[in-house]
Amino acid sequence: TFKREELMQKVQMHMSERRFKHVLGVEETAIALAAKYGASEEKASIAALTHDYAKERPNEEFEMIILRDGYDQDLLNYGNAIWHGLVGASMVQRELGINDEEILEAIRLHTTGGAKMSLLDKIIYVADYIEPGRDFPGVKEARELALVDLDEAVAYETKHTLQHLIEKEQKIYPKTIETYNYWVVGKA
Ligand code: DGI
Ligand code: FE
Ligand code: FE
Ligand code: FE
């Protein structure tokens, strides 16, 4: 199918075995969700395979790109957790030649979500959270919700991720708050 084998190989080269296993779990989950909710399974596969492509890049590389390519300089106050998707999408585009804007946006939003999310964005955001390799309190409930109502799964993930970050006194990226306000508090 398309250039899946080639893409898999390029992705695998850039990460640990453990992370690659996670990526394959996200792909399997994203394809299943795409089938269930009527999104493109091919786009789900490509976005899932590449969502963490940049996760093991050094901070200096992200900082250089943020300084050079017109990103909001406030991004420099965050770290790999926020950079690897949002900025990593530009590496996926340049290095893997993926120019599909729907796929690139799903990669950009996969960690923080956003008030505005396409079906593909939601699928990747949720698949990343519930793939078979994930094991944390609440993952079972998240998996059940994903089979019933994708928006409910987005809300559940958002709320629990934010709770976890606050518990650990981590800096909250504004987009994460935006996602919480929209999907958890209300869409009004
Ligand atoms: O890359 P993964 O581990 O598969 O998962 P991810 O990209 O969804 O999340 C990466 C990390 O980012 C995870 O530990 C949660 C964290 N995160 C999500 N939103 C925020 C955040 N970290 C900070 N500091 N601030 C956020 O707003
Ligand atoms: Fe990630
Ligand atoms: Fe995630
Ligand atoms: Fe991931």
C-alpha 185/C-alpha 82 separation (Å) is 23
Q: Is the CB of 32 under 6 A from ligand 1?
A: no
Q: Does 51 reside within a domain?
A: yes
Closest approach atom of ligand 1 to CA 171: 24
- Ligand 1 and 157: CB distance under 6 A: no
pLDDT of residue 115: 98
pLDDT reported for residue 151 = 98
Atom of ligand 1 nearest to the CA of 22: 4
Within a domain: 131: yes
Mean pLDDT per segment of 10 residues, for the chain of length 188 residues? Answer: 88 98 98 98 98 98 98 98 98 98 98 98 99 97 98 98 98 98 89
Whether complex ipTM tops 0.95: yes
List the CATH number of the domain containing 97: 1.10.3210.10
179 Cβ closer than 6 Å to some ligand 1 atom = no
Q: Name 43's Cβ contacts closer than 8 Å, sequence gap at least 6.
A: 34, 100, 102, 103, 106, 120
22 in a domain, yes or no?
yes
Q: How many Å lie between the centroid of ligand 4 and the Cα of residue 187?
A: 26
Nearest CA to ligand 1 atom 21: 81
The parent domain of residue 85 ranges over 4-135
pLDDT of residue 88: 98
**What local confidence, expressed as pLDDT, does residue 188 receive?**
59
Contact between 86 and 75 (Cβ < 8 Å): yes
In a domain, 165, yes or no: no
The answer to whether residue 92 is domain-embedded is yes
